[in-house]
Chains A and B, each alone.
Chain A
Amino acid sequence: MHPRIISELRAIVGERGLITETEQLRTYECDGLTNFRVVPLAVALPASGEQVQAIVRICHREGIPFVARGSGTGLSGGALPVESGIVISLARLNRILDVDLPNARVVVEPGVINLQVTQQVAPHGYFYAPDPSSQSVCTIGGNVAENSGGAHCLKYGFTANHVLGLKVVLPDGEIVELGGKTLDQPGYDLMGVFVGSEGTLGIATEITLRLVKRPEVIQTLLAAFHSTDEAGAAVSEIIAAGILPAAIEMMDNLSIQAAEAAVHAGYPQCEGLLLVELDGPTAEVALSMERVTAICRSCGAWEIRLAQSDAERLVVWKGRKAAFAAMGRVSPDYIVQDGVIPRTALPRVLREIKQLSEAAGLRVANVFHAGDGNLHPLVLYDRSVPGQEHIAEELSFDIIKLCVQAGGSITGEHGVGREKQKYMSTMYAEPDLDTMQLVRCAFDPRHLANPDKLFPRPRLCAEKPGRYEPHPLEQAGIAELF
């Protein structure tokens, strides 16, 4: 990067706010998806929204691509740097700006950690509902970019359902407010499309969130089954009974072993473990839990335990939330997938995953949000065995294709990022993707914000929609104008 630009950036963020040394830059070369690594030209750590704006303005003027980054816990490579660009870390924008309890709203900067929001308001009986497993380290800005979910989104919804307003630095450096503290603001729901846009539409510098009142009572049940089929049947019956649990999680034997080795949650050793959490008014939870217990029994549960204290409940959850990381205990390497299927397809898809796993000669552990059909199959392999990584990638792709064929999605909460770009075409036809690109072209016609992510291939945006002059690349038949 030109020394003039370096000094301009340094003037904005200060000496300690700009990283240009290769060794230090390596800290930022990947996110939670570690098999893709790119060292950026520089990393800027602004301390205010104005600094973010000033940096983006320079990027826009100079045509430098930028990638926004929170804690870098994303699992799809969304924060993977661009070789010819810079990373804008939002870690220093970590203030909670406003807490408005009468209206159950908070305004935060993007670098605030997810769990800190809940910690801030918990003494008043409120919590922030989206709870990705990484909630103790991931940032709200990253959650907004990825539309993060979590175990409890079955009942409470995703990040998109909890964001009310955004202040955004657009890719041309303009600042725009989308949504706000009051609901149903006139105009297009650009906030709705910004959430989950994976950093491709700009950088949020202030985020207004909706809080939820902590329920009167929370109860968590563990049920051990002889098979994932039985456990899956119980899930369907619970939902069919009109009960909406806060969460229903399922783990298979391999996941249980791994989680036990890591966390000692005291899970029963079984083929299919269900974790059902109910919350709400005391009387309703008590009655619903009786029904859930009866359903689990009738579906073949041979052991049913109700967590007896908050401490017990937390241990149960700790095991579940540690499940990915715990895979290191049973396999040197693994690929985690994030496919979604209609809940009723669960038993069939699990059987087919088993067949694929056997055919590929690799183990697949299953740990997932069973209530909303969000699978997290973990394909276990050993990188040191020649060819095995490739087989694991193929198997992983086959599992995703299975999900799409079942009427589902390639990703329920981890995002497309770099990892699943190539899968997008299995789910959407060209016109569908082209239509999404219209939004991209309106926000970022020069593709500076997190370029080459999310979409299977880049597209050129005509500078002015409507009548246009053909782009030279288009005339030469190299690129398609859109």
Chain B
Amino acid sequence: MTVDSQTLHTDLSAIVGAEQVRAAVPADAIDGVQPQMIVEPDDEAQVAAVLRLASGAGLSVVPRGGGSKLGWGNPPRSVDLILSLRRLNQVIEHAWGDMTATVQAGCRVAELQRVLAEHGQRLALDPLWPERATIGGILATNDSGSLRARYGTLRDLVLGVTIALPDGTLARSGGKVVKNVAGYDLPKLINGAFGTLGVITEATFRLYPLPAHVRCLRFQASEVSALHRLLLRVLDSTLVLTGAQLAVASESPPVLDLRCEGIAEALDDQIAQLMQFGTGLSVAPLDPVDWHGYDSLWSEDEQELICKVSVLPSDIGALTQTIRRVAGPMQLGWELKIQALGTGMLRIAGANEQTLLAALSILRAESGQLAGSCVALHAPLAVKQKLDVWGAAPGSLPLMRRVKDRFDPQHVLNPGRFVGGM
């Protein structure tokens, strides 16, 4: 920070207008780090200009969409400016005949879905908090839900992005057609980069039709292993599921929710086959509106830990055993929701920070042995200050740093918040 507030306010006002610059308040703090100003550009050119100014002045910038996941990541080393994408909230184009849509980063997920539904289409993704989360935010955090079982994650759905680099360059990559191999696939690089390489201003997605019919089943068993076996059997079958979510908790019996989508007559067959696979287990139809993803597991409780976990599908059973083994003796309450392909979220409620810290360390070591990962998304600040929320540094970290240094040589964007303190 090399500029005084007054100068900064004047310079930012010259770009976006005085009414779109305001002093930050304590509620804007990120992990206890207090920003100085909030700036709300109107368009991508202004986003780029703000970044160029920040780079020149040596300021740190945190891009913000709906703010729903602003607490994810390591505590920032510093935050001077919050760059709000709130005003870049338009669905630019819904090319429904081509099943693509181009949308600004600040558009809420639910708003995009409403527009797409007018032509019977959707972004085939069910991220957390769609009413609050923005397109830029879900891209930056690579958020996903149960639909990934069939449609993949944003890396499989995003066709093109426009990003503003710290030096003020506006760069487009990818395109607006579903098939394109011209040049490097920067949309994949940007997806999940936590806003540390550039600020996403716009993205184009491939879309899918809204399903004509949805049918869900809920299987229950006293043992996780029975449900895990069923899940693996379903994965090894020719059935096409759009969701398979196993929920296991310290206090309640495990359940496996399965979802099929398609033509009503054809669904009868699939449901019958699923019931046959699950013979011997307790099963009931589940109203699709009662399908709950990670939202229900999430809490803002200061004393809880919420991790994103990833293991091989065949190791889901072993993971639940590990959690039980770690949490039991510490008397920690926990709840795990895990998708068919082995990614999930785990909530652990602990008595104090030391216990949470200890539990996390053991879980990490054990899930590491399962070739998986365990990222702490939500944790008490004292816990976050003692470890890298992303876990052990990957072997490719030096290469990642080289990429970071090329895109953001002065570490203007989200400093310290990503893997390895990038």
Contact for B175 among A188, A284, A409, A436, CB less than 8 A = A409
Q: Chain B residues with Cβ under 8 A from A410's Cβ?
A: 182
Tell me if B281 is interfacial: C-beta within 8 Å of chain A.
no
Tell me if B270 is interfacial: C-beta within 8 Å of chain A.
yes
Tell me if A103 is interfacial: C-beta within 8 Å of chain B.
yes
Q: Chain A residues with Cβ under 8 A from B341's Cβ?
A: 183
| CB contact under 8 A between A190 and B179, given known A160-B185, A182-B372, A184-B308 | no
Query: A217-250: contact bitstring with B at CB < 8 Å (1 yes, 0 no)?
Result: 0000000000000000000100110101000000
Query: B398-414: contact bitstring with A at CB < 8 Å (1 yes, 0 no)?
Result: 01101111110110000
- B residues engaging A (CB < 8 A)? 95, 97-100, 120, 142, 152-153, 155-156, 163, 165, 169-173, 175-186, 188-189, 191-193, 197-198, 208-210, 212, 232, 235-240, 262-263, 265-266, 268-270, 308, 310-314, 341-343, 370-373, 375, 390-391, 394-397, 399-400, 402-407, 409-410, 418-420
> Contact between A342 and B179 (Cβ–Cβ < 8 Å)?
no
Tell me if A343 is interfacial: C-beta within 8 Å of chain B.
yes
Which of B208, B390, B403 has the most A CB atoms < 10 Å from its CB? Answer: B403
Cα–Cα distance between A372 and B100 once the two chains are bound (Å): 11
Cα–Cα distance between A286 and B238 once the two chains are bound (Å): 15
| CB contact under 8 A between A416 and B182, given known A181-B312, A182-B312, A187-B400 | yes
Q: List 29 A-B contacts (CB under 8 A).
A: A102-B313, A104-B313, A170-B399, A182-B312, A184-B310, A186-B390, A187-B400, A187-B418, A187-B420, A188-B400, A189-B155, A189-B193, A190-B399, A190-B403, A192-B188, A193-B184, A193-B189, A197-B184, A239-B99, A282-B269, A372-B177, A407-B176, A409-B182, A411-B181, A424-B183, A435-B198, A435-B407, A436-B186, A465-B406
> Contact between B269 and A435 (Cβ–Cβ < 8 Å)?
no
* Chain A nearest Cβ from B310, distance in angstroms: 5
* Chain B nearest Cβ from A62, distance in angstroms: 22
| CB contact under 8 A between A186 and B419, given known A102-B313, A176-B399, A216-B238 | yes
Tell me if A146 is interfacial: C-beta within 8 Å of chain B.
yes
> Contact between A188 and B193 (Cβ–Cβ < 8 Å)?
yes
Tell me if A185 is interfacial: C-beta within 8 Å of chain B.
yes
Cα–Cα distance between A181 and B179 once the two chains are bound (Å): 25
Q: Chain A residues with Cβ under 8 A from B100's Cβ?
A: 342
Which of B178, B235, B263, B410 has the most A CB atoms < 10 Å from its CB? Answer: B178
Cα–Cα distance between A195 and B343 once the two chains are bound (Å): 23
Chain A residue, CB-CB nearest to B142:
A184
Interface residues of A in 126-142 (CB under 8 A from B): none
Chain B residue, CB-CB nearest to A412:
B179
Q: Chain B residues with Cβ under 8 A from A153's Cβ?
A: 179
Cα–Cα distance between A59 and B389 once the two chains are bound (Å): 39
> Contact between A192 and B189 (Cβ–Cβ < 8 Å)?
yes
| CB contact under 8 A between A341 and B172, given known A213-B238, A420-B182, A439-B189 | no
